[in-house]
Structure 1
Amino acid sequence: MADWQILSITAVAIIAIVFLILKLRVNPALSLVIGAAGLGLATGLGATGTTDTIMQGFGDIMFEVGLLIAWGVLMGAILNEMGAINKLVERLMKVFGPKGIPYALGLTLGTMLQSIFLDVLLVMSAPLARRIAPKLGKFGTARMATAMAISLECGIVLMVPGVATVALAGLLGVPLGSMLIFGLLVIIPTILVSIFIMDFFIQRGFWNVEKDQEPMEEAQDLGADGTAPGGAPVGAPVMPSDDPAAVLPASDPRSRVGLLPYDVRTRTARGPKEASLLVMFGPMLLSLVLIGGGALAGMAGFTSPVTDFLSTPVIALLIGLLGTSFVARRTIGTKRVEEAVVGGFRESGQILILTGAGGALAAVVAASGMGDVLGGYFSASSVAPLLVVWGIAALLHVAVGSVSISAITAAGLLAPVAPTLGLDPVLIALAAGAGSLFFVHVTSNTFWLLQSMLGQTTRGTFKTCSIGVSVASVVALGFTLILSLFL
Structure 2
Amino acid sequence: MSTIAAEAITDAGTGQLVLAAVLAIAAVVLLIAWAKWHPFLALIGGSAVLGLVAGAAPGATVDSFTTGLGNTVGSVGLLIALGSMIGALLAESGGADGIVNRIVNGVSGAALPWAMAGVAALIGLPLFFEVGVVLLVPIVLLAARRTDVGLLRLGIPALAGLSVLHGLVPPHPGPLVAIASLNADLGLTLMLGLICAIPTVIIAGPVFGNFIAKRVPLSVPPVLAAVGERPGSGPAGGQDFVDRDDLVNPGAGDPAELVDQQITGRRRDPGFWPAVLTVLLPVVLMLARGIAELVLVEDTPLRNALEVAGDPVVALLAGVLLAMWTLGHRAGFDRRETSAVLGGALPPIAGILLIVAAGGGFKQVLIDAGVGNVIADAARDANINALVLGFLVAVGIRVATGSATVATITAAGIVAPLATTLSTPEVSLLALAIGAGSLFFSHVNDAGFWMVKEYFGMTVGQTIKTWSVMETIISVVGFACVMLLSLVV
TM bucket (normalised to shorter chain) is 0.7 to 0.9
Quote the Cα distance in structure 1 between the aligned partners of 2:173 and 2:484.
25
Change (3 A) 1:474 1:294: same
The match for 1:217 is 222
Alignment match of 2:436 (pick from 434, 437, 447): 434
CA contact (8 A) 1:37 1:54 kept: no
Quote the Cα distance in structure 1 between the aligned partners of 2:384 and 2:485.
11
Quote the Cα distance in structure 1 between the aligned partners of 2:173 and 2:15.
34
Quote the Cα distance in structure 2 between the aligned partners of 1:47 and 1:221.
49
Larger RCO, structure (CA 8 Å, separation 6 or more):
1
CA contact (8 A) 2:96 2:123 kept: no
Q: Note the 1:301-380 alignment, pairs <5 A.
A: 301-302=296-297, 303-304=300-301, 305-327=304-326, 328-334=328-334, 335-379=336-380
The match for 1:30 is 41
Quote the Cα distance in structure 1 between the aligned partners of 2:372 and 2:418.
5
Change (3 A) 1:462 1:298: same
Deviation per residue, 1:129-184 (Å, 9 max, x gap): 0121245636x112223223322222112112112221221122112211211110
Quote the Cα distance in structure 2 between the aligned partners of 1:215 and 1:161.
33
Change (3 A) 1:270 1:184: farther
Q: Note the 1:176-215 alignment, pairs <5 A.
A: 176-199=186-209, 201-202=211-212, 207-209=215-217, 213-214=218-219
Deviation per residue, 1:335-359 (Å, 9 max, x gap): 4322222221223333322222121
Unpaired runs of 5+ residues, structure 1, are: 229-244, 247-257
In the TM superposition, what is the alpha-carbon distance from 1:373 to its structure 2 partner? 1.1
In the TM superposition, what is the alpha-carbon distance from 1:225 to its structure 2 partner? 12
Change (3 A) 1:155 1:381: farther
Please say which of residues 437-446 and 312-321 is displaced more in the overlay: 437-446
Q: How many residues matched?
A: 454
CA contact (8 A) 1:145 1:450 kept: no
The match for 1:252 is none
CA contact (8 A) 2:179 2:186 kept: yes
CA contact (8 A) 1:380 1:421 kept: no
The match for 2:273 is 278
Quote the Cα distance in structure 1 between the aligned partners of 2:79 and 2:29.
28
Change (3 A) 1:23 1:276: same
In the TM superposition, what is the alpha-carbon distance from 1:189 to its structure 2 partner? 1.1
Quote the Cα distance in structure 2 between the aligned partners of 1:284 and 1:149.
19
Change (3 A) 1:331 1:358: same
Deviation per residue, 1:98-126 (Å, 9 max, x gap): 32232232233235433222212101110
In the TM superposition, what is the alpha-carbon distance from 1:475 to its structure 2 partner? 0.5
Unpaired runs of 5+ residues, structure 2, are: 1-11, 243-255
The match for 1:237 is none
Quote the Cα distance in structure 1 between the aligned partners of 2:14 and 2:384.
24
Amino acid at match of 2:110: K
Quote the Cα distance in structure 1 between the aligned partners of 2:382 and 2:112.
40
Change (3 A) 1:337 1:387: same
Change (3 A) 1:112 1:273: closer
Please say which of residues 477-486 and 22-31 is displaced more in the overlay: 22-31
Q: Is it true that 1:49 corresponds to 2:60 in the alignment? A: yes
Quote the Cα distance in structure 1 between the aligned partners of 2:383 and 2:118.
28
Change (3 A) 1:374 1:10: same
The match for 2:157 is 147
Change (3 A) 1:180 1:44: same
Quote the Cα distance in structure 2 between the aligned partners of 1:134 and 1:223.
16
Change (3 A) 1:12 1:429: same
Please say which of residues 384-393 and 5-14 is displaced more in the overlay: 384-393
Change (3 A) 1:26 1:262: farther
Q: Is it true that 1:158 corresponds to 2:155 in the alignment? A: no
Q: When the two structures are superposed, what TM-score results if normalisation uses the length of structure 1?
A: 0.85
Please say which of residues 213-222 and 173-182 is displaced more in the overlay: 213-222
Change (3 A) 1:136 1:293: same
The match for 1:486 is 488
SS in 1 for 2:379: coil
Alignment match of 1:84 (pick from 65, 88, 95): 95
SS in 2 for 1:424: helix
In the TM superposition, what is the alpha-carbon distance from 1:273 to its structure 2 partner? 5.2
Quote the Cα distance in structure 2 between the aligned partners of 1:14 and 1:409.
8
Amino acid at match of 1:331: A
Please say which of residues 356-365 and 18-27 is displaced more in the overlay: 18-27
CA contact (8 A) 2:23 2:49 kept: no
Amino acid at match of 1:309: V
Change (3 A) 1:218 1:28: closer
Q: Is it true that 1:462 corresponds to 2:475 in the alignment? A: no
Quote the Cα distance in structure 2 between the aligned partners of 1:294 and 1:42.
44
In the TM superposition, what is the alpha-carbon distance from 1:380 to its structure 2 partner? 8.1
Quote the Cα distance in structure 2 between the aligned partners of 1:439 and 1:375.
26
Q: Note the 1:9-20 alignment, pairs <5 A.
A: 9-20=20-31
Quote the Cα distance in structure 2 between the aligned partners of 1:32 and 1:218.
39
Amino acid at match of 1:438: F
In the TM superposition, what is the alpha-carbon distance from 1:379 to its structure 2 partner? 4.6
Q: How many percent identity over aligned positions?
A: 28
In the TM superposition, what is the alpha-carbon distance from 1:416 to its structure 2 partner? 3.1
In the TM superposition, what is the alpha-carbon distance from 1:420 to its structure 2 partner? 4.1
Quote the Cα distance in structure 1 between the aligned partners of 2:358 and 2:287.
28
Please say which of residues 301-310 and 440-449 is displaced more in the overlay: 301-310
Q: Is it true that 1:259 corresponds to 2:237 in the alignment? A: yes
CA RMSD of aligned residues (A): 2.9
Change (3 A) 1:5 1:361: same
Q: Is it true that 1:101 corresponds to 2:112 in the alignment? A: yes
Deviation per residue, 1:276-335 (Å, 9 max, x gap): 121123233122111110110111124424322212111111011011012213423134
Q: When the two structures are superposed, what TM-score results if normalisation uses the length of structure 2?
A: 0.85
Quote the Cα distance in structure 1 between the aligned partners of 2:220 and 2:76.
45
CA contact (8 A) 1:194 1:468 kept: yes
CA contact (8 A) 1:156 1:404 kept: no
